[in-house]
Amino acid sequence: MKYCSHCAATVSTRIPQGDNRERFVCDQCDTIFYHNPRIVAGTIPVWEDKVLLCRRAIEPRRGFWTLPAGFMENGESTEQAAQRETMEEACAEVKLGQLFSMITVPHIDQVHIFFTAELVDGRFAAGAESLEVALFAEQDIPWHELAFPTVKQTLQRFFKPDPAGVHVFDILPQQALRL
């Protein structure tokens, strides 16, 4: 960030009074700009005991498989974001279930949230961000072709449910490298 969106003056990084972290602060009007983690919301869509996965048509990880998910937009709930992303990527309408996993990925400033979901009518197709979309039984999932550690670990937990409820965990940089 170079310029203030309020007065167009330059900004610099410093620790504002009463804070404990460096922030972007306007050199003229002292507006503080906070950069917080971004939320990725998605679903684990199921139809007849199979999970719907999308082969990515965009970077990062183009050509790899993922659960339908993407960045939450302002003005929508996490549930709305998960349903919207499923429709955009897989052209699939889902009925949301419970929150299944919440994964913090601090080295890229993201939090990933996945809900269980049922396909409403079994229909799906590749959306603009997907090369193809397919249903997979657990044994058929292309485990070595999954796009992200958050997806891999969510699917592993999904097929071996923990009675504890919501799965909350972190993905650290060294785990991301071992995908």
Q: Are residues 55 and 30 in the same domain?
A: no
For 50, 57, 99, the CA distances from 103, given in Å and listed in that order, are: 23, 24, 12
Q: Are residues 139 and 82 in the same domain?
A: yes
Which tens digits make up the pLDDT trace of 12-56? 999 999 999 999 999 999 999 998 899 999 999 999 999 999 999
Beta partners for residue 112, in sequence order: 40, 103
Q: Are residues 28 and 53 in the same domain?
A: no
Q: Are residues 116 and 167 in the same domain?
A: yes
For residue 62, the domain's CATH number is 3.90.79.10
Torsion on CA atoms 56, 168, 36, 13, rounded to nearest 10: -110
Q: Are residues 16 and 46 in the same domain?
A: no
pLDDT at 176: 64
- Cα atoms found within 13 Å of the Cα of residue 169, Cβ hemisphere only: 17
Report the amino acid identity of residue 18.
G
Query: What kind and span of H or E run contains 174?
Result: helix 173-177
Beta partners for residue 47, in sequence order: 50
Quick check: 178 pLDDT over 60? no
Question: Whole-model pTM?
Answer: 0.88
Neighbouring CB atoms inside 10 A of 9's CB total 13
pLDDT at 11: 97
Instruction: Report the SS3 class of residue 156.
Output: helix
Whole domain around residue 102: which residue ranges? 38-177
Which tens digits make up the pLDDT trace of 80-134? 999 999 999 999 999 999 999 999 999 999 999 999 999 999 999 999 999 999 9
Q: Are residues 88 and 54 in the same domain?
A: yes
pLDDT at 163: 64
pLDDT at 56: 98
Q: Are residues 113 and 154 in the same domain?
A: yes
Q: What is the DSSP string of 79-135?
A: HHHHHHHHHHHH---EEEEEEEEEEEEGGGTEEEEEEEEEESSS-----TTEEEEEE
Q: Are residues 10 and 62 in the same domain?
A: no
For residue 8, the domain's CATH number is 2.20.70.10
Q: Are residues 52 and 23 in the same domain?
A: no
Q: Are residues 28 and 94 in the same domain?
A: no
Q: Are strands 110-119 and 38-47 parallel, antiparallel or unpaired?
A: parallel
88 exposure class (CB count in 10 Å sphere: 0-12, 13-18, 19+): middle
Q: Are residues 65 and 48 in the same domain?
A: yes
Overall number of domains in the chain = 2
Q: Are residues 31 and 69 in the same domain?
A: no
Residues contacting residue 40 through CB under 8 Å, at least 6 positions apart: 69, 70, 71, 72, 110, 111, 112, 113, 150
